[in-house]
Structure 1
Amino acid sequence: MAGDTPSGPAPLFDADSCPRLAPGVKLVHDDVRGQWILNAPERVLLLDDIAHAIVSRIDGKRPLTEICDGLAAAYDAPREMIGADVLELVRDLARRGFLRG
């Protein structure tokens, strides 16, 4: 991912958290770049394929456990590894102001 640098402490999230996009943040496909981005007021964050797979499942209703279970099944990957990666990304995006808990 390219974009803003993290600042401040990592927000608290756990397996039962239901993160959502922060106000004014939209997940959109940038046709010029040919990639998914998080578009926020005066900021853009380019998402790699893995980050997009995670962020596209974040809706403010599904807990992280459900998101991780779906990703583990979709990618046939160990649940523990997926869970750690998802939590790390969610905390980073929240610290950058793209997600809320």
Structure 2
Amino acid sequence: MSARPRLAPADRVTLARHARLRFDSVRGRWVLLVPERVMVPDETCTEILQLCDGDRSIEAIAATLSEKYTADEGVIRRDVIDLLQGLADKGFLRPMAGPPA
């Protein structure tokens, strides 16, 4: 498996084509469907993934969460990048090229 590029605050990401975030009514929670497995993200991860629409930058996602939770934006940004980098390294997220739509 080739190494994925490091994500930066200005990057915009979205779920990879083979990954889907869906609400599972049987489990009563959100799940991330990826090839041959179902991941059950926690509430924070789900909220972040819902903001990964390909238009918002990681920095904008962190700002939204920082404002919502009145938390330090730098700390939130680092946590968001760490989470998204892990998912990108597994191939579940993809960076968007070019300017936002």
Q: TM-score range by the shorter chain?
A: 0.7 to 0.9
Question: What is aligned with 2:16?
Answer: 22
Structure 2 residue 66 is matched with structure 1 residue 72: yes
Q: Which runs of 4+ in 1 moved over 4 A?
A: 7-10
Show CA shifts across 1:44-100 (max 9, x none).
111101101111100111111111100001111110110011000000011122101
User: C-alpha separation between the residues in 2 aligned to 1:10 and 1:50?
Assistant: 23
What are structure 1's unaligned runs of at least 5 residues?
1-6
Normalised TM-score (structure 1): 0.86
Normalised TM-score (structure 2): 0.86
Q: Identity of aligned pairs, percent?
A: 35
What are structure 2's unaligned runs of at least 5 residues?
96-101
User: C-alpha separation between the residues in 2 aligned to 1:56 and 1:41?
Assistant: 19
Structure 2 residue 63 is matched with structure 1 residue 84: no
Residue 10 of structure 1: CA displacement?
Answer: 5.5
Question: What is aligned with 2:90?
Answer: 96
Note the aligned Cα RMSD (angstroms).
1.5
1:4-43 superposed matches below 5 A? 9=3, 11-43=5-37
